[in-house]
Structure 1
């Protein structure tokens, strides 16, 4: 090669330790913070990043990937022998994703039909939310419904005759985007997720509907937080601003607005737990629980699942994110999954319980709990990175029984070919 030619970037591949350092910096983490999440001393992280330690074994790699929110293991270790990428926190692309993406991306400037009434759209949305909560494979259901719902809601906004009609249609469109975000989440198209979240927020603000704004803020805060520690401030900002708007006059507000305030309050605690701020996290949980206790005993918010029944599940999540093994398992033991009416949310709770038991060293119980999650909603387990990580780690366990059980789960949730 000529000395004047551009060098091949693959002639000097980036080492594992350099990749860890790059992702840590991108997430805004110090070495001390990463070490704390992994249960190591800061000097261990320094040795990994400098190359003084070899690439860790698979279980440790999964823990590093989880802490850094790296979605593909190959992004940490590079391409290994030409093997395909191993996704961690991104699930498989659903067969209906292209159709949903096409509906989101389309902006027809003319219409060859009349928009459905807002009453029809409201009934269709209610039915879609109910179908999502009742289905063991909610993306399959939503993938069929969303293209039509998106087009109908967009059409209703364009054909609104008055300001009031347009605001009502915008609130419905925002809620359609919220429903879409549940379908798009954890699929391999992060840019699409952000388009949906941002359009939902814009439509909600245009509607001036407090409930729609609260839902959009709730989902936006989650999207920011799931992007890593560097985005935690943005998650807090969205949550704080939404609470400032919604909390005045809360006692006289409709049930659904009070519930979304409770859900947002817990989100603040969830982010604090991800920051490892124990007192702050549990303080927000307590505030959310007080709101939940003032709701009817059987109340269930149709979007966030917020209500009394979900607070136990939220307690498990806080303890797990704080990496407190004994407290995590204590919360998991006391949280009643059966009271959660939504099948996907119940499965998500079971996964959080499994994380709690795994953190506490109760590996067999963790696998049994993942089996319960799979029974409630197989698709939720299939798209959940934490569940897949536990299954992959247990597939290498010393115990033959644990390996076999994990291998069966891997087949059941589609991680391996049967």
Structure 2
């Protein structure tokens, strides 16, 4: 993993750690124990069986209102079985397949562990995921590892490291794209979006929109009904990414315009994109609409809002608003999320 440079003093500061860190999930200790047990000591299941379970876990993560609970219940067994598969592989081909599945289990674990009070565990999982992906020699796994690592660096204001991971991986993936699968093209598109978001965080407007436009071109190579099972990258979701680019550039009016365009698209993980829309409305001085949007997201997927630092920041800020009615709505939502007693 690239070194972690000093944060750029000209960029916006990251979220305060108290906002980035949500409450510990009841299943965190069990997941951590599985991650710390590197020699499961049991016979590995067939690769096809493990693949099917991982596919189900990703589906649950996008669709279930209490996805952290469901994923947290699935993860310990997935991690132990994937580790057993990697340890027991006997040929080069089966070893590469096992490493790819192990990387995917670590990616799922990284999503679960994110924004919980154990930052070293998140980085440990990210490093293991990257190592397993590289050992698998699978472009899809390598791209996903880079996608997740880039986000972790950017959330920590390590923008140079985020750029290094993103651009080095894109240089590796780009020559493969003409003959690549849909999933590999989608991961390259998702990584290109990340390059744009890092540029936007730095205030580099032209660069940010250039990367978004390049991602749009990659999305157009995908079938209209296709959605990447991990990143959700697709033709439809590219509009939602435009909202986030505009928000990161602090362009309030543009972010709301992009939000209106994105609303017409049918995409998975809608609650996550509702949070980006709420950020747009809040940035555009429309706090009542922002709160209403977060309430919609909470009604659909409480776990998504509870562990999202941007959502918590808006809610806690509006819980101290001068408007009594807005203050009541925000305080009620904060109480439902467990942010206040």
TM-score in same-fold range (> 0.5): yes
Per mean C-alpha deviation after superposition, the further-off stretch among 113-122 and 96-105 is 113-122
Instruction: Report what 1:407 is aligned to.
Output: 331
Per mean C-alpha deviation after superposition, the further-off stretch among 398-407 and 260-269 is 398-407
Structure 1 counterpart of 2:233, from 306, 309, 312: 306
Tell me if the contact between 1:91 and 1:186 (Cα under 8 Å) persists in the aligned partners.
Answer: yes
For residues 107-146 of structure 1, the aligned pairs below 5 Å read 107-108=38-39, 111=41, 113-146=42-75
Give distance in 2, aligned partners of 1:189 and 1:68. 18
For residues 55-204 of structure 1, the aligned pairs below 5 Å read 67-71=13-17, 87-108=18-39, 111=41, 113-204=42-133
Deviations 1:375-413 (A, max 9, x none): 221111111111111111111212121111111111221
Cα distance, 1:70 vs. partner? 2.5
Following superposition, which runs of at least 4 residues in structure 1 exceed 4 angstroms of deviation? Answer: none
For residues 142-291 of structure 1, the aligned pairs below 5 Å read 142-228=71-157, 231-291=158-218
Tell me if the contact between 1:88 and 1:389 (Cα under 8 Å) persists in the aligned partners.
Answer: yes
Give distance in 1, aligned partners of 2:194 and 2:145. 13
Instruction: Report what 2:316 is aligned to.
Output: 392
Give 3-state SS (helix, strand or coil) of 1:283's partner: helix
Cα distance, 1:107 vs. partner? 2.0
Tell me if the contact between 1:204 and 1:216 (Cα under 8 Å) persists in the aligned partners.
Answer: yes
Cα distance, 1:68 vs. partner? 4.1
Give 3-state SS (helix, strand or coil) of 1:415's partner: coil
Deviations 1:5-64 (A, max 9, x none): xxxxxxxxxxxxxxxxxxxx96341xxx36xx5xxxxxxxxxxxxxxxxxxxxxxxxxxx
Q: Which fold has the larger relative contact order, with Cα–Cα distance below 8 Å and residues 6 or more apart in sequence?
A: 2
Number of positions where the alignment pairs a residue of Structure 1 with one of Structure 2: 337
Tell me if the contact between 2:186 and 2:228 (Cα under 8 Å) persists in the aligned partners.
Answer: yes
Tell me if the contact between 1:178 and 1:219 (Cα under 8 Å) persists in the aligned partners.
Answer: yes
Give 3-state SS (helix, strand or coil) of 2:127's partner: helix
Tell me if the contact between 2:103 and 2:141 (Cα under 8 Å) persists in the aligned partners.
Answer: yes
Q: Which runs of 5+ in 2 are unaligned?
A: none
Give distance in 2, aligned partners of 1:219 and 1:337. 28
Instruction: Report what 2:279 is aligned to.
Output: 355
Tell me if the contact between 2:14 and 2:155 (Cα under 8 Å) persists in the aligned partners.
Answer: no
Give distance in 2, aligned partners of 1:240 and 1:413. 37
Question: Whose radius of gyration is greater, 1 or 2?
Answer: 1
Give distance in 2, aligned partners of 1:287 and 1:192. 34
Cα gap change, 1:219/1:134 in structure 2, threshold over 3 Å: closer, same or farther?
same
Give distance in 1, aligned partners of 2:167 and 2:7. 22
Structure 2 counterpart of 1:315, from 236, 242, 245: 242
Task: Give TM-score scaled by structure 2 length.
Answer: 0.96
Q: CA RMSD in A?
A: 1.5
Cα distance, 1:251 vs. partner? 2.4
